[in-house]
Structure 1
Amino acid sequence: MHKSLGLLPGNRYGKDISGDAHLLIRPEDMRLADSGEHSIPAVVQDVQFFGGASTLVLSIVGRTAPILVSQPGATSAHRGAVVNLTWSAQKAIILPNDPRRSAL
């Protein structure tokens, strides 16, 4: 699937998909990654450390709602930093863009 974010991994839902599509990924299935293929950039809005895990509040271009990503331990990411998110293709679902559906 080609979008403004490039070619992204995922499992299509239903028949073959061409053109615009939606990539659905649960936030708990996303993780921080090194820059590279199959990752998207995000800006750190806030970092919260609770015991053995850090929760990052991230913003992604083209998305109005923030995304929360948890990771074990402390993180060196700080407010304003650009990080990269990745996910397992098995955890992602690609849906065709259907104008009859409400926005996802």
Structure 2
Amino acid sequence: MLALGDVPTPQARETCVTSEQIRQYDRDLKKAREAQGILRDLASQMLAFAESERAACIAIKPFGFDPSAAGSGLIKLATALDRHGPERAKFHSNVERALRL
């Protein structure tokens, strides 16, 4: 989560007019797609843990950890990672709260 916090949101492709802006868009989009894959992989692991290790989830819930909420939030964050808007920050905050980061 900390390493992916500085993944830039690509500028809207329609607004890129210079070749440098287009190259920057391509670089930013590539970084965003890689980060989305990492977040989705982590989300699937968190959701699988939440489903298969119910006793562990019950044990860690009083400490503020919620693997199911974290997994759902990671999927939403991955989906919003390459778009501008308030959703990205909201989903990031939800995941941090679920993982007590």
**Band of TM-score, shorter chain:** under 0.3
TM-score for both structures, normalised by structure 2: 0.25
Larger RCO: 1 or 2 (CA < 8 Å, sep 6+): 1
Name the structure with the higher strand share.
Answer: 1
TM-score for both structures, normalised by structure 1: 0.25
Name the structure with the higher helix share.
Answer: 2
Of structures 1 and 2, the larger Rg is shown by: 2
